[in-house]
Chains A and B, each alone.
Chain A
Amino acid sequence: PAFGLFLFTIARDPLRIIILIAGAFFWLVSLLLSSLIWFIAVKASDPRDEQLQKGLLIFGVMFSVLLQEAFRFLYYKLLRKAIEGLVALSEDGCSPISIQQMAYVAGVGFGLMSGAFSMINLLADALGPGTVGIHGDSQLYFLTSAFMTMVLIFLHTFWGILFFHGCEHRRWWEITAVVVMHLTVSGSSFCNPLYVGSLVPSYLLMAAAAAWAYLLSGGSAQNLRRFLLCK
C-alpha cells in the first residue's frame, strides 16, 4: 500500500521525489547513528548475558526512536529553508509545493525507508526454502511482520504531517504527542510474540493519528462523506 501511495501521489512531481529520497536519507542517517551507539554499547558489554543484551537492545530501540524524531526535526528545518528558497525564486510569490505536501512526502520517505529496512531481508528469506516457526516460534511471523511494517509506514506518514504541523504552529504538545506515540508503538512491539499486545494498539494509534492528520490537513467529516459518496 505504501508503494501504491508513492506511485499515485508522488511519482508525478519530480520535486516530491527528491524530497522523498532526501527523507529516506535522513531516516537512514538516524538509523546509522543509533546503531553506532548500540554497537558501542554492545561491544562494551558482556556478550553472553542474555538479559543484558536484550536490555541493551531495548535501550537501542528507544534511543533510535528519539534520534529518528530528532532527524525529522532537522529535516523540517531543512525543508523550511528550501521553501524559502523556492518562494524567492518562483514567479508568483508562492512556492510550487506547500509545507503540508512536503510533510506528507517526508513522512512517506521516512516510512518507506523504515519499512524497507524492516521487511526486505525478511522477504528475501521468505523466497527461500524453510518453514515458519519450526523452532517453536510463532507461525505467524511473516504475516505479523508484514502488518506491523505496513502500520509503521502509515504511522510515519501521519507523524510527518503532525510533526510538521506542530513545528509550523509552534504547538509543542503536538510534537511531544508524536514522539510519545512513536515510543509507544516501538514499545508495544516489545511484547512480541504476543502479537495482540503490539498489533492492536498500533493499529488503534494509527487510526487516531490518521484522523488527527486528516483534520489538521483541512478535512472534515463532511468532506469525507462527500468524497465517499462521490458527490
Chain B
Amino acid sequence: MTELSAHLPQFQHGQVTENFPDTHLSNTNDNSERRRHDNTERRRNDRPESETNGQPQNNIQQVVEQDEEEDEELTLKYGAKHVIMLFVPVTLCMVVVVATIKSVSFYTRKDGQLIYTPFTEETETVGQRALNSILNAAIMISVIIVMTILLVVLYKYRCYKVIHGWLIISSLLLLFFFSFIYLGEVFKTYNVAMDYITVALMIWNFGVVGMICIHWKGPLRLQQAYLIMISALMALVFIKYLPEWTAWLILAVISVYDLIAVLCPKGPLRMLVETAQERNETLFPALIYSSTMVWLVNMAEEDPEAQRKASKNSTYDKQAAARQTQNEDAEADDGGFSQEWQQQRDNRIGPIESTPESRAAVQALPSNSQTSEDPEERGVKLGLGDFIFYSVLVGKASATASGDWNTTLACFVAILIGLCLTLLLLAIFKKALPALPISITFGLVFYFATDNLVQPFMDQLAFHQFYI
C-alpha cells in the first residue's frame, strides 16, 4: 500500500493535469469555422459584425447566399451527428467502468485512501463523517485548483517542455502501471493463470502503442480507444480510493468549479482556451478527446469527393511533419482542424502571413468550396476529465447503490441527457463550455432520487409483480 501511495502522488499530478484542462467542452477548432458561418449568415441579415471579414465579402456574396441555408441545415443535422459522436465514447467508457466494477471486486474493496484524502470516513458519528468528507473534498479541490493554475501559468509562459514532460510521465504511469494492476485483477477474478513474461509483453506492447497513439500520430479510432481506456482506468482508481461521501461531494464541487473556471473571465480554463485560440494551437492531445477526424475517415470511405480531401490530408501531413520538426511540438496530431484548414487554404491561395486581418479575410473565402467540406471542420472536443467524472459517477452508482442496475441506468440516461443539453448550449453559444455541471447535476439528482425513492417502489412492484 505504501508503494502504491508513493506512486500515486506522481500519478496524481498526472491525473490532475488530465483533469483540469479537460473539464470543459470546447469547439475551439469549430470556432473559426463557426465564425465563418456566422459571418455568412450575418451578411445575409445585414448585421454590422460582417465588416470584420473585409473585402472578399462582396465578391462571394452570391455564392454565400446559396451556401447559407445549406450551412444552417448542416449545422443542425451535424449537430445531432456530433451528439452521437460524443454519446458513443462516453457510453463505452461508462460501460467499461460498470462492467469492471460489477465483475472485479478489487475496485470495490476498501484498501485505504489516497494521501489527498487523509480523513477517514469510518467515524462514529454522522457529524464527524460529514466534517471529514468536507475536509477531504476541500483538500482535493484545492489540489486541483493549484494544479490548474500551475498548468495555465506554464502554458502562458510557453514552458511547453515542462508540460509535455509532465503529460508524458503521467500517461506513462497510467498506461503501464495502472493497466498492469487492472490486468492482474481481472485475471484474479476469472482465475486465469498467466506468467509474468506474457504479461510483461502484453503490457509493454499496450503501453508503447498507447504512448505513440496519444502523443504522436496514430489511427484516429485507436487513439480514441486508448483515450477511453485511460479514462476508464482513472475513473476506476477514483472509485476505489475515494470514500463514499467524499466522492459525491467532490463530484458536486468539481462541477461548480468547472462552471466557474470556464465561464468567469479570469477562470484558468478560460484563459487556457483563449490563449490556445490566440496562438492558434490545439490544446494538448493527451488531454482531449476529439471526434473531428472521424469525419475525414468516414468521408474518405464513402464519398468520392473525399479523394481530394485525402490528397489535402497528405499535404497536411507533410506540412504537419514540417511544422513538427520546426517546433518540436507534438500537438498537431489530434485533428486540429484549424491548422489543417489553414494549411489547405494556404496551399490554395498562396502563403499568407498569418495576421489577424488576413486570417479573417481568408476565413470568409471557403464558401466557394463545396459544402461537403463543412462536415470536416465541425468536430466536437470533449475533455478527458469529463469522461473520467461521468464514469466515476456511474461507477459509484453501480458499486454502492442499493438499487443497483436501476440506479446505474438512471444515472446513465441522466448524464447523456446532460451531455445533449450541453451540446445544445454549445451550438447556441459557440464557445468553450463546461461539460460537467449539467450532466453531473442531473446524474447526482437522479442517483440520490432513484436510490432512495424509486428503488423501494420498484422493489415492491416487482415483488407483487405489478406493472406500471
- A positions within 8 Å CB-CB of B: 14-15, 17-18, 21-22, 24-25, 28, 31-32, 34-36, 38-39, 42, 53-54, 57-58, 60-61, 64-65, 68, 86, 89-91, 96, 113-114, 116-118, 120-122, 124, 141, 144-145, 148-149, 152, 185-186, 189-190, 192-193, 198
Contacts and interface: CB of A to CB of B under 8 A. Distances in A.
Contact of A14 (B81, B403, B405, B406): B81
B465 A39 contact: no
A121 B462 contact: yes
Contact of A21 (B72, B413, B465): B413
Interface string B429-457: 00000000000000000100110111011
Contacts of B454: 31-32, 35
B465 A121 contact: no
A63 B461 CA distance: 13
Contact of B410 (A15, A17, A28): A28
Given A90-B76, A145-B462, 19 more contacts: A17-B87, A18-B420, A21-B413, A21-B417, A25-B413, A28-B446, A35-B453, A54-B464, A57-B460, A61-B468, A65-B468, A86-B76, A89-B72, A113-B413, A118-B458, A118-B467, A121-B404, A124-B405, A189-B466
Nearest to B468: A64
Chain A interface helix/strand/loop/mixed = helix
B414 A91 contact: no
B409 interface: yes
9 contacts: A28-B414, A32-B446, A34-B457, A35-B454, A36-B453, A39-B453, A86-B76, A117-B409, A122-B462
B420 A21 contact: yes
Contacts, number: 122
Nearest to B449: A32
A186 B466 CA distance: 7
B70 A141 contact: no
Contacts of B452: 39
6 closest residue pairs by CB, A with B: A35-B457, A14-B84, A192-B465, A14-B80, A189-B467, A120-B405
B77 interface: yes
Nearest to B465: A192
For chain B, which range describes its interface: under 10, 10 to 19, 20 to 34, or 35 or more residues? 35 or more
B416 A57 contact: no
A96 B77 contact: yes
Nearest to B460: A57
Nearest to A16: B80
Given A89-B73, A124-B405, A148 B467 contact: yes
A89 B76 CA distance: 8
Nearest to B456: A39
Given A22-B417, A32-B450, A145 B465 contact: yes
B83 interface: yes
A189 B468 CA distance: 9
B57 interface: no
Given A31-B454, A120-B405, A22 B467 contact: no
A83 B72 CA distance: 15
Contacts of B72: 89, 91
B413 A114 contact: no
Most buried by A among B457, B458, B468: B468
Contacts of B406: 117, 120-121
Contact of A32 (B405, B453, B468): B453
A89 B420 contact: no
B69 interface: yes
Given A61-B461, A90-B73, A17 B417 contact: no
Contacts of A90: 73, 76
Most buried by A among B81, B410, B413, B466: B466
